[in-house]
Structure 1
Amino acid sequence: MKFSAILALCVVSLVSPTSAYNIYKADAVNCRSSPSTSGKVVRTYTAKDNISLTCQTSGENVKGNTLWDKTTHGCYVSDYYLKTGSNGYVAGKCSSNGGGSTPSTGKIPGPIKDDYPYKGSCGGVDPWRYYKCQCTSFVAWRINSRLGVKFHNMYKGPNWGNANKWDNAARQTGVPVNSKPVAGCVAQTNAGNYGHVAWVAKVSGNSVTIEEYNWSKNRYSTRTVPKSTFNYIHIKV
């Protein structure tokens, strides 16, 4: 594969993570398992902490504010206590299950078809903090929908960012990266300006069949290529 053919794979695939915010109106605030003061306390933030968000949702009314902020630690803080500079949304809305993701509904790796929810409506930011119809958005959606893993741009802490950062981010978080593909893992390359990620749909001999977006003009496509084309990130399988 010529690297020059990969330059336009995931152009500007990264959405900068939500800015870090500080607590005010309190010296410390609890981060809870649900957007409610009755939710289990998962951790406590203090005024010195910089808190990054993955999404926001409505919840229990706290001093006139019903907005709750889901942090990169997977718990919720009342927006009343965060100094975001706005009384409204500064991050994407969480999905109905509160995680900015879709629960797993099919078998791994699932059918080979274009069931990406944003096809035909590209542009803007998805619930996982990537630009819609980029390779990273498509794979983030597949991880959520087929693996049942609440993956996003700040999964387990580091910024996964553009596709060419995914291998290092995976290693930082203890997610295996190797040269051994299995159906349902992520194919990843650092080639080109931004790299590329794809969904491994099938492994046969020395070849892999992948599903992907934005290999060509924000569209879905499939290819069968040599295993050696990619690294493989094993988030669940």
Structure 2
Amino acid sequence: MKLAAILALCAASLATMTDAYRIYNADTVNCRSSPSTGGSVVRTYKANDDVSLTCQISGENIKGNSLWDKTTHECYVSDYFIKTGSTGYVASKCNTGESPPTPPPSSDATPGPIKDDYPYPGQCDDIDPWRYFKCQCTSFVAWRINSRLGVKFNNYYKGPNWGNANTWDEAARKTGVPINNTPVPGCIAQTNSGSAGHVAWVAKVSGDSVTVEEYNYKRHKYSTRTVPKSSFNYIHIKV
């Protein structure tokens, strides 16, 4: 390859990142797979390490700073731990690559038909527009809340990080969202059982039984179950 072509290629690569900034405010800092402390740790930086940024995005609030910086290692660090010299953007905003999908027609009233209308089947492990991992129970329920209830719900609804399903009950209490043992169609079934808990969409209530729709109860797939009402707590975001 000729020298001019090599220089052009290097220039094109450098155009996608900012200058290096130092890690500070901690001895070690985790770089995560998503802009929240719920993301898995990809790598760890030490104080005074230099990192270059490819883009920045809003995420979980860390010590008053909700900005997260994506490094050239393809992971996210809270801007609180990177000395950029600014509390605002110093790089371009990260492009999630998509906008939230168009909700179904208004004829799909709450709770709507029992069917698999989730827009991301088979696209697992990427981050969805609501800041959850696709094909997880939380992503499916976030989709239903947005599409069926018309509520702009995401992982940071009303401020706190809702996180895994086993912290949705805590987030509901923090934000004043009603949570009780009384299900109604269109509310959210939630349990702390298992390593990360589980959430599902309440489709039908019959006596002491509740029918739920869910994702990832059967390995990244849609399914329905009818179980005793006592199986879940119930979060009433709108109904």
Normalised to the residue count of structure 2, the TM-score between the two structures is 0.63
- The counterpart of 1:17, out of the listed 33, 36, 39, is 36
- The counterpart of 2:91, out of the listed 86, 94, 112, is 86
- The counterpart of 1:51, out of the listed 53, 58, 66, is 66
Cα shift at 1:88: 4.0
Paired residues of 1:101 and 1:150 also in contact (CA < 8 A): no
Cα shift at 1:121: 2.0
**Consecutive unaligned residues in structure 1, runs of 5 or more:** 1-13, 19-47, 54-80
- The structure with more radius of gyration: 2
Alignment of 1:60-209 (within 5 A): 83-89=88-94, 92=96, 95=99, 100=100, 105=106, 106-209=108-211
Q: Counterpart of 1:43? A: none
Aligned equivalents of 2:225, 2:110: Cα separation in 1: 18
- Residue by residue over 1:64-86, the C-alpha shift from the partner in whole angstroms, topping out at 9 and shown as x without a partner, is xxxxxxxxxxxxxxxxx864453
Q: Counterpart of 1:72? A: none
Aligned equivalents of 2:212, 2:171: Cα separation in 1: 21
Cα shift at 1:220: 0.3
- Residue by residue over 1:88-116, the C-alpha shift from the partner in whole angstroms, topping out at 9 and shown as x without a partner, is 41x63673xxxx57557320000000010
Percentage of identical aligned residues: 66
Aligned AA (1:50): N
Q: Counterpart of 2:226? A: 224
Cα shift at 1:205: 0.3
**Consecutive unaligned residues in structure 2, runs of 5 or more:** 1-32, 38-62, 69-85
The 3-state SS of whatever aligns with 1:109 is coil
Aligned-CA RMSD value: 2.6
Question: Which structure has more RCO (C-alpha within 8 Å, separation ≥ 6)?
Answer: 1
Aligned AA (1:232): Y
The 3-state SS of whatever aligns with 1:200 is strand
- Shift of the 17–102 alpha-carbon distance from structure 1 to 2, 3 Å rule, reads farther
Aligned equivalents of 2:162, 2:193: Cα separation in 1: 16
- Shift of the 154–52 alpha-carbon distance from structure 1 to 2, 3 Å rule, reads farther
- Residue by residue over 1:196-222, the C-alpha shift from the partner in whole angstroms, topping out at 9 and shown as x without a partner, is 000000000000000000001100000
The 3-state SS of whatever aligns with 1:51 is strand
Aligned equivalents of 1:221, 1:15: Cα separation in 2: 27
The 3-state SS of whatever aligns with 2:66 is coil
Normalised to the residue count of structure 1, the TM-score between the two structures is 0.63
